[in-house]
């Protein structure tokens, strides 16, 4: 029985490494709250553990690999600022929680203009946490 617990811990650790690699592939130095919680939710779904247990495993992982939140230069603020993800579109059930996160300065919900998202147009992935201006130099999506 004790070996099963050890195997599960190893499996969770291995999964944490893979989830971080997947979610941070575009910017390995930016694990903001949105990604942190998304990884926790995946642990819950994959291993059938509680949210608290997932958070505990994830926190233990970050004792060895500290979370980093990216910063960049904002021309509007004329300063180095933390940048936050821009979310384009959302499901109705996610909208309320995304709006709460936006109000707390954790993300920006973009106005989804049909003309903005089309082939060949690059849209910014991040915005300034202070003024909410998009920061395309730190990542775009084709």
115-142 tens-digit pLDDT = 556 677 788 888 999 999 999 888 787 7
Do 83 and 116 share a domain, yes or no?
yes
Burial class for 39, CB neighbours closer than 10 Å (0-12, 13-18, 19+):
buried
Q: Please report the pLDDT score of residue 82 as a whole number.
A: 87
Do 90 and 52 share a domain, yes or no?
no
pTM for the model: 0.52
Query: What is the C-alpha to C-alpha distance for residues 93 and 90, in angstroms, rounded to an integer?
Result: 8
User: Range of 126's domain?
Assistant: 71-141
Do 11 and 26 share a domain, yes or no?
yes
Do 78 and 118 share a domain, yes or no?
yes
Do 6 and 58 share a domain, yes or no?
yes
Task: For residue 46, name the pLDDT band (cuts at 50, 70, 90).
Answer: very high
Do 76 and 97 share a domain, yes or no?
yes
Do 86 and 120 share a domain, yes or no?
yes
């Amino acid at each position: 029985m004790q070996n099963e617990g050890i195997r599960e811990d190893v499996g969770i650790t291995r999964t944490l490494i893979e989830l971080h690699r997947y979610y941070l592939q575009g910017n390995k130095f930016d694990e903001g709250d949105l990604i942190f919680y998304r990884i926790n939710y995946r642990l819950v779904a994959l291993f059938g553990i509680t949210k608290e247990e997932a958070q505990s495993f994830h926190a233990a992982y970050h004792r060895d690999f500290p979370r980093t939140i990216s910063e960049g230069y904002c021309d509007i603020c004329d300063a180095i600022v933390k940048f936050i993800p821009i979310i384009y579109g959302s499901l109705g059930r996610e909208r309320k929680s995304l709006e709460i996160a936006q109000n707390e300065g954790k993300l920006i919900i973009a106005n989804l203009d049909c003309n903005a998202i089309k082939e060949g147009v690059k849209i910014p992935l991040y915005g300034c946490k202070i003024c909410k201006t998009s920061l395309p130099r730190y990542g775009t999506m084709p």
